[in-house]
Structure 1
Amino acid sequence: MNPSHPRTTPTSRPLGAERVRRLPGGGLVGLLKAAGGDVVNLAAGTPGWPATPPELIKHAVHALHEGVNQYENPDGNALLREWIACSLPGRPDPATELTVTAGASEALAVALLAAVDPGDEVILLEPFYENFLSAVALAGGVPRFVPAQGPDWAPDPAALTAAFGPRTRAIVLNSPANPTGRLLTDEELDLIAEQCATWDVVAVSDEVYAPYVYDGARHRSAAEVPGLAERSIVLGSFSKSHSVSGWRLGYLRAAEPWTRLLRQVHIATTGGAAAPLQHAMAHAGPALHDGWDPAESMRTMRDHAVRALTEAGFSCSAPRGGIYVMAGIAGLTDEPSPRFARELAERTGVLVAPATPFFADPRHGDPYVRVAFNRPEATLLEAHRRLTGRP
């Protein structure tokens, strides 16, 4: 027997690591798994519109047949990184400032694992995408919430400033936001840049929905903000913009010193994204962007969704970005949103997402549901018919 490890009686302890026990309950996943039958699903953000471009599928099949089936450079396909760089403001260096990831979810996890030590505080603007909380938990971080109130969901500048402190290591941004569709204003971004510089904080900016901005608004990347660009890690994805969520293709943009760290974590976690799918996106993607305006058709779908919800008694306004509407249900029910969502699905066959997973205190989400409108027009018109009870 090793004297340095004397025999002791094992003690009972919880199964698994503490970081796993801190993960949120996955309320959205549970609801979506329960969906079935004749249901119009407006809960999940999985793209139903636009259709996956046939050119992408053709190039992916060709790549598989041509033998592009082994490891790709972990940094990402060089041609794909060149194209991504050309599509982003300020044109980052594809060799030293871009990394292709297995979707934006891996990019988020990699960013926080690279930036946050256990016990560090991470600021989250509320309401937030549920996976933000999961990624903070996996990194061992401590979330610090900055709440906002509907219907405009603007964070209070004083509360935002007060959230920063000596234990703050990162802030997670999301513009356009899931679930609200809100765009961070120039004033808010400048305030965040000032506080990040003061407290030496990195901004992890989820900009997955940047292609979907409406009504003359402009998306401003964290990488464009003076004082924030060099301390930002931007997340992007092709899942929604190109309707290939199952391909798991995303990317990280960061200054070269951060990129070195991010790539180390990326190699340790996944080793790289799928080679044939990167190849297909690199060869077919640029041609798809000639005259490409994804927001043009999506704005029509947004307007269909807002009209249907308003006529059915929900309270909502047209979001300026993204693919979701955050709708109030106070005029329809006194029930909390999870129960309301279940009853609505049973009564009308329209499935919406309860807003409780988007808040630190789920009760704050009880008056709201989230509705995805990246759907074909026929689907939204059918939802409209069912919600309003029209023939």
Structure 2
Amino acid sequence: MRQLPGGGLADLLRAGVPAGTVNLAVGTPAFPDTPKELVDAACAALRSGVHQYQDPAGVPALRERIAAGLPGSPDPATELTVTVGGSEGLCVALLAAVDPGDEVIVLEPFYENFLSAVALAGGRLRPVPLREPDWSPDLTELTAAFGPRTRAIILNSPSNPTGQLLDRLHLEWLADQCRKWDVTVISDEVYAGYVYDGQHCSVADVPGLAERSIVVGSFSKSHAVSGWRLGYLRARPEWTDLLRQIHVATTAGAPAPLQHAAAAVDLFRAERWDPSAAMRERRDSTVEMLREAGFRCAVPAGGCYVMAAIDGLTDEPSHSFVRTLAAETGVLVAPATPFFADPRRGERHVRVAFNRPADTLDTARQRLRAQARRCPGLSHSSQEGEPA
């Protein structure tokens, strides 16, 4: 039986989280609150009898809503496909772009589902390490990763798990490489609405990348509806035709009543729905909390995670350190091992989610402070520079 890689974080959580634990390990949103208008619209759609199959490409009104909220005004009829969350969108994009044996470049550390999605498509992962402290790519190493067997590169900006943001200069440089080697760009832009420093630049806005890109989007984190499984793919019409064929073969369509609900509520434009300022406050609070407790971390430019080093706290690898930390403080964070092709490269880091209510983060901070007073390992060690 064929086995797919991944599952490290799921394995940790499957063991069970004790009652009262402050869970900062998973990205399932506890903030912002799911918009009440969406919930009401979903109930109305169900009561009105929306229970059957709809257009597999997505309810047209929803595609129009999505298009209105994206830069560059994509054609909702020919360039957008509603998917069963970003996860299905990612798999469909890779199945369309990659044949068995093709190489797929990823920037490491990466969202752990990239590993299994590439394997599902039969691709060969080509990781390129990002460099601390700001988790930026080394362009020499990235250049060397491209070659005649390269068929795709997966980008994720802002990144899960690092919060790193690829700026326009990086993307323009990548456009030259992708043109040279005829490479498709699969761009996970799920966290595009959460940018705190700098400005998000979509690959769809960059000449040389736009025509060879597939953008993956999702409402799971931005609108706190991860259980609704609503995402989308954006691509030029020729790609969209192929993506839709694979989408029909895999799922046949996203949940119809929830699509109607999202179409009925105009929350896809920043002027109508923008929790990023409150998320920035949580980012700053979390970075300060971690530095105060002795972790070493850069300030993420976007997303909802902090990648933190544990060098000054323990000699344990991260997968056992997180269990020790949870047992001693009641605060659970994620080991970084699932975010690396070779898990050993993640043994000195953890990932911390901050899409949480302020009082949850305050509780975590108080518990870490209390443990620091009892245990020299969690010390109030100073970090270079001012806390965020």
TM class, shorter-length? over 0.9
Residue 259 (structure 1) aligned with residue 240 (structure 2): yes
Alignment of 1:140-159 (within 5 A): 140-159=122-141
Per-residue deviation at 1:275? Answer: 0.2
1:105 is aligned, of 68, 87, 90, to 87
Letter in 2 for 1:280: A
For residues 177-203 of structure 1, the C-alpha deviation after alignment (integer angstroms, 9 at most, x for no partner) is 000000012222112111111111100
Q: 5+ unaligned residues in a row in structure 1: which ranges? A: 1-15
Which range is displaced more, 152-161 or 130-139?
A: 152-161
Quote the Cα distance in structure 1 between the aligned partners of 2:25 and 2:267.
31
User: Residues 299-342 of structure 1: CA distance to partner in whole angstroms, max 9, x if unpaired?
Assistant: 01111111111111111122110000001110100110001000
Matched residue SS, 2:49: coil
Match of 1:75 among 31, 53, 57: 57
My pick for the range that moved more, 145-154 or 262-271, is: 145-154
1:230 to 211, 214, 220: 211
The CA deviation at 1:289 is 5.2
TM-score, length-normalised on structure 1?
0.93
CA distance in 1, matches of 2:246, 2:277: 37
Instruction: Map 1:153-232; keep pairs closer than 5 Å.
Output: 153-215=135-197, 217-232=198-213
Aligned length: 371
**Aligned counterpart for 1:86 among listed residues 40, 44, 68:** 68
Distance in 1 (alpha carbons) for counterparts of 2:269 and 2:213 = 29
Q: In the alignment, is residue 60 of structure 1 matched against residue 42 of structure 2?
A: yes
Partner amino acid, structure 1, of 2:114: F
Distance 1:287 1:320, change over 3 A: closer
SS of 2:107 mapped into structure 1? strand
Determine if contact 2:266/2:272 at 8 Å carries over to the other structure.
no
**One-letter code aligned to 2:108:** E
Q: 2:302 is matched with which residue?
A: 321
Q: Tell me how far apart the structure 1 counterparts of residues 205 and 10 of structure 2 sit (CA, whole Å).
A: 34
Q: Aligned with 1:382: secondary structure?
A: helix
In structure 1, how many angstroms separate the alpha carbons of the residues matched to 2:368 and 2:334? 15
Contact kept? 1:56, 1:285, Cα under 8 Å: no
| Per-residue Cα deviation, 1:218-260 (whole angstroms, up to 9, x for no partner) | 0000101110000000000000010000000000000000000
Pair 1:288–1:113, CA change in 2 (3 A): closer
Q: Distance in 2 between matches of 1:124 and 1:212?
A: 21
Residue by residue over 1:16-69, the C-alpha shift from the partner in whole angstroms, topping out at 9 and shown as x without a partner, is 23xxx2x22401111122223210000000000001111111110111110001
Partner of 1:28: 9
Q: How does 1:299-314 map to 2 (within 5 A)?
A: 299-314=280-295
Any residues of structure 2 matched to 1:7-26 within 5 Å, and which? 16-17=1-2, 21=3, 23-26=4-7
Equivalent-residue separation in structure 1 for 2:6 and 2:111 (angstroms): 13
Contact 2:134 2:298 survives alignment (8 Å): no
Match of 2:319 among 335, 338, 347: 338
Percent identity between matched residues is 65
Q: Tell me if the contact between 2:85 and 2:229 (Cα under 8 Å) persists in the aligned partners.
A: yes
For residues 323 and 36 of structure 2, the distance between their equivalents in structure 1, rounded to whole angstroms, comes to 36
For residues 141 and 282 of structure 2, the distance between their equivalents in structure 1, rounded to whole angstroms, comes to 35
SS at match of 2:266: helix
Cα RMSD, aligned residues only: 1.3
- Find the counterpart in structure 1 of residue 221 from structure 2: 240
Quick check: which has more Rg, 1 or 2?
1
Q: Distance in 1 between matches of 2:235 and 2:53?
A: 23
Aligned-partner SS, 1:285:
coil
Cross-structure match for 2:386: none
State how far apart, in whole Å, the 1-side matches of 2:231 and 2:151 are: 24
Comparing 286-295 with 92-101, greater Cα deviation is found at 286-295
Task: Provide the residue aligned with 1:349 in structure 2.
Answer: 330
Counterpart of 1:11 in structure 2 is none
Report deviation, 1:287.
8.2
| Residue identity matched to 1:68 | V
Structure 2 length as normaliser, TM-score?
Answer: 0.94
Question: Structure 1 residues 288, 156: CA separation in 2 closer, same or farther (over 3 Å shift)?
Answer: closer
Answer whether contact 1:164 1:195 (CA < 8 A) is retained: yes
1:220 alignment partner, SS class: coil
- Residues 1:130 and 2:112 are matched in the alignment: yes
- What does residue 382 of structure 2 align with? none
Runs of 4+ in 1 over 3 A off after TM superposition: 285-291
Does the 8 Å contact 1:24/1:130 carry over to 2? no
The answer as to whether partners of 2:32 and 2:223 remain within 8 angstroms in 1 is: yes
Task: Give the Cα separation in 2 of the matches to 1:332 and 1:363.
Answer: 18
Partner of 1:276: 257
Q: Following the alignment from structure 1 to structure 2, what is the Cα–Cα distance between the partners of residues 237 and 61?
A: 21
